[in-house]
Structures are given as C-alpha cells and as structure tokens.
C-alpha cells in the first residue's frame, strides 16, 4: 500500500479562485500527481516558487485543495469537500529552523507530543524518549537546552520528536540548510539510515541536488505546480523528460543535431554516437542535443585521448576552474560562421587559451525538439 497518494491536486491561496473553482493563473499546484510507497524516501526538487512548500502544507492539512485528493495509507485526508485536521494525520514534520522550544530541555521537547499518545503514563513517556535518544545518538543529553547543542544535535532532537509518535510519513522541509557543511554530509546519511531503520516513508524538500541524491530513493522534479518527472536520480539526470528538467538537474551543452541513422547524429562537433537507438521518425529534422559536461572529452591538439567518437573541429579554452574532483573548462567553438560556448569537465589541466580538440564520449544521447520544450518519444 502507498504511504502517500496524491491525485490531480490543485491548490491556490486566493480565496476567489477557491470560491469560483476556476482554473486560474494563480493556481500554485495544478493537476499534481505523486505516490510514495511504504518505507520509500522521495526527494522533491524544483526552483523557488514552483510550489514545493505549498505541497507540504497540503499534505500536512494546512491548505485545503480546490480539487483532487490526498490519501495517507489508503485513507482520504484532503479533498475539496473535507480536510482531516493535521493532528489526526499521523505525520511527522522536520523544519529548516528545527522549531524546538528554547525554554524546554531535550527530554521535554521530544516528549511534548507524546501526552496525546500515552496520556499521564510517565514511565511509557520516559521509555519512549529514551528510545528516541538512543536512536539519534543523543543519549545522556536529555537535560540540555537547545542553545547548549550544536546545529546537528538540534536537528537530531527534531528528528527524535518527529518519530516519537510513530508517524506513517515524515515531511522534511530543507532540514540540512542550516547545518555546517562539514557536518551536513554525514548527517544526511545518518538521518536517512534512521528513517530506513524505522521503515518510515519520507518526503524531503530541498534546493540541493546533492542532498536529494544522497538522501532519497527516488527524485521528483517539480515545475509549474506539478511533478514533471519522478524516478531514480541516475535516470532523471541522464534521461530527462524535457529541457526544463535537463537544465535544472545540472549544467549541460546544447547543440543542433540531425539524426543520420539509428545510432548517430551529425552536429557542429561532427558525428556523435549514441548507445541507445534513436527515433528514426525524426531523421533529417533539426533537433537539440543535450550533452553533460563530463561527456565532452578535451584533448590538446596533437595528443591522443583514446578511442573517442567522431571527427571533431578544434576549439579554444577561454576559462578554467578547479572544482575539486575535476576541472571545468569553458570552451569557444567556432564553425560554419556560428559560435558555440561549451562546458567540459575533465581531470587533466589544459593551458589557458590553448587550442584543443573536442570529442563526445558515446553515451545515451538526449534529444529535444528544437524549441527546447518537449522530449522526443523513444
């Protein structure tokens, strides 16, 4: 059974839109579909203003839909007709600013929501808090106040509080953005492991692709108030459904291309090979070829870079930047009285303003219609 199932959800903050039940320009969510299975963690990515926070509020019961439904474990909790109150949904919330009570100890922060579950049974409350403290590696810190903890420790308290009532799903709203960069990566892994250990489904909202990739089982990319694509991080990164998703998931190069046969296209860089079959019904049509920087091989003129595809023209390095694990180069390519600016990532440095040869490493080519909106059907 799905932990969460959202079907054709539409939401707006404008009351006139709600009253008229109109499909208006001010809809924040429009026809949104999303499913999360039991124990699955989904990372929700999208640009600012696309509706991510609104979606969390709708799931939590803070916003009533104009149309569509939200189900938790098969039970409808939101529709245009009725909304189940937030406290009756069995949802855990983890916020960007931790939302801890500064005047309460760690113990009291975690136990705050347990009175409705255990009533006045203090031994059960105490045992549950101790279990949560062990789970998040804070045992022995129960008497401290939030200001006496590090940012990572405060977030662990928020995790413990969210899990104390055994929620069916946890909503995480940018939970790592206030954490120091040196602590963030291990904390991401630790909290993911905790959710997996507890077999709790999770929905993570983040602006960081790296956090989403590391934390989630699958990624849902949001744009224009709807989920545009959902799948593994690898599939969405390498096989985006449209140009919007391709650009959002990371830098890329766009070149005009024409399909020559089932596995080759012609481009300003020459013939480029594809590892998967191309749609032959589009042969002869000018398309857009989207190429990730790491698929562009750079070789100084006169030196071999191995067996790469195509017979490609020479280009000029205009700028280089060391980014830790590789070097990012900006490259000027001029041919047929047309200029292109490309980006490549490679391991070995090349002299500034050097003339280089570019080759595209054979891979599953990503092609879009020339207007850059719709992906070609496979």
Tokens encoding 178: 């206030």
Cα Rg, the chain, nearest whole Å: 25
Q: φ and ψ at 298, to 5 degrees?
A: -115, 130
Q: Under 8 Å CB-to-CB from 224, ≥6 apart: which residues?
A: 30, 50
CA 171 – CA 240 distance, rounded (Å):
26
Q: φ and ψ at 370, to 5 degrees?
A: -60, -30
> Over the range 338-357, which residues count as b (16 or more CB within 10 Å of their CB) and which as e?
eebebbbbbeeebeeeeebb
Per CATH, the number for 2-244 is 3.40.50.300
CB 118 within 8 A of CB 128: yes
Q: Is the pLDDT of residue 114 over 90?
A: no
Q: φ and ψ at 56, to 5 degrees?
A: -60, -40
Percent of the chain with pLDDT over 90: 65
Up-side HSE of residue 324: CA atoms within 13 Å toward CB? Answer: 0
Residue the block writes with tokens 């079907």: 7
pLDDT of residue 306: 41
- The pLDDT tens digits of the residues spanning 232-272 come to 999 999 999 999 999 999 889 999 999 999 999 999 888 99
- The pLDDT tens digits of the residues spanning 118-143 come to 565 688 889 999 999 999 999 999 99
Work out the average pLDDT over 44-58.
93
- The pLDDT tens digits of the residues spanning 265-300 come to 999 888 999 999 999 988 888 899 999 999 999 988
pLDDT of residue 197: 92
CB 369 within 8 A of CB 285: no
Q: Is the pLDDT of residue 175 over 80?
A: yes
- The pLDDT tens digits of the residues spanning 295-349 come to 999 988 764 444 344 445 678 999 999 988 899 999 998 776 678 899 999 988 8
CB 8 within 8 A of CB 32: yes
pLDDT of residue 302: 60
Which pTM value belongs to this model?
0.86
- Does the domain made of 251-369 have the CATH classification 2.40.50.140? yes
Burial of 360 (0-12, 13-18, 19+ CB in 10 A): buried
Q: Where exactly does CATH 2.40.50.140 map onto the chain? A: 251-369
pLDDT of residue 350: 87
Q: φ and ψ at 194, to 5 degrees?
A: -65, -45
Q: Whose CA is closest to 286, among 369, 183, 182?
A: 369
Q: Under 8 Å CB-to-CB from 372, ≥6 apart: which residues?
A: 243, 254, 288
The number of beta carbons lying within 10 Å of the beta carbon of residue 65 is: 22
CB 295 within 8 A of CB 344: no
Q: Is the pLDDT of residue 201 over 50?
A: yes
The rounded mean pLDDT for the chain is: 87
Q: Where exactly does CATH 3.40.50.300 map onto the chain? A: 2-244
Q: Whose CA is closest to 247, among 33, 49, 45, 32?
A: 45
Up-side HSE of residue 247: CA atoms within 13 Å toward CB? Answer: 12
């Amino acid at each position: 059974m799905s932990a969460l199932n959202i079907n054709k959800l539409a939401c707006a903050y404008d009351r006139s839109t709600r009253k008229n039940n109109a499909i208006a320009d001010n809809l924040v969510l429009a026809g949104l579909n999303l499913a999360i299975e039991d124990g699955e963690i989904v990372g929700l990515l999208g640009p600012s203003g696309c509706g991510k926070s609104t979606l969390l509020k709708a799931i939590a019961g803070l916003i009533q839909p104009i149309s569509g439904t939200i189900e938790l474990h098969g039970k409808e909790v939101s529709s245009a007709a009725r909304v189940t109150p937030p406290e009756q949904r069995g949802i855990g919330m983890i916020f960007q600013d931790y939302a801890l009570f500064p005047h309460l100890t760690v113990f009291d922060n975690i136990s705050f929501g347990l009175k409705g579950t255990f009533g006045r049974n203090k031994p059960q409350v105490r045992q549950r808090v101790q279990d949560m403290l062990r789970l998040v590696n804070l045992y022995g810190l129960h008497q401290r106040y939030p200001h006496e903890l590090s940012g990572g420790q405060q977030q662990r308290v928020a995790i413990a509080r969210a899990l104390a009532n055994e929620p069916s799903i946890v909503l995480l709203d940018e939970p790592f953005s206030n954490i120091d960069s040196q602590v963030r990566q291990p904390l991401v892994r630790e909290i993911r492991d905790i959710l997996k250990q507890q077999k709790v489904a999770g929905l993570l909202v983040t602006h960081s692709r790296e956090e989403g990739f590391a934390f989630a089982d699958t990624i849902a990319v949001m744009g224009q108030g709807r989920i545009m694509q959902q799948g593994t991080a690898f599939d969405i990164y390498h096989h985006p459904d449209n140009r919007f998703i391709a650009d959002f998931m990371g830098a890329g190069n766009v070149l005009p291309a024409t399909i020559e046969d089932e596995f080759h296209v012609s481009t300003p860089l020459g013939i480029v090979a594809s590892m998967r079959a191309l749609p032959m019904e589009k042969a002869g049509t000018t398309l857009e070829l989207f190429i990730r920087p790491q698929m562009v091989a750079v070789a100084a003129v006169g030196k071999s870079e191995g067996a790469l595809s195509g017979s490609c023209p020479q280009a000029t390095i205009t700028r280089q930047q060391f980014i830790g694990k590789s070097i990012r180069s900006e490259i000027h390519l001029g041919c047929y009285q047309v200029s292109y600016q490309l980006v490549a990532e490679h391991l070995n440095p090349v002299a500034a303003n050097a003339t280089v040869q570019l080759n595209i490493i054979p891979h599953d080519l990503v092609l879009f219609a020339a207007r850059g909106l719709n992906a070609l059907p496979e």
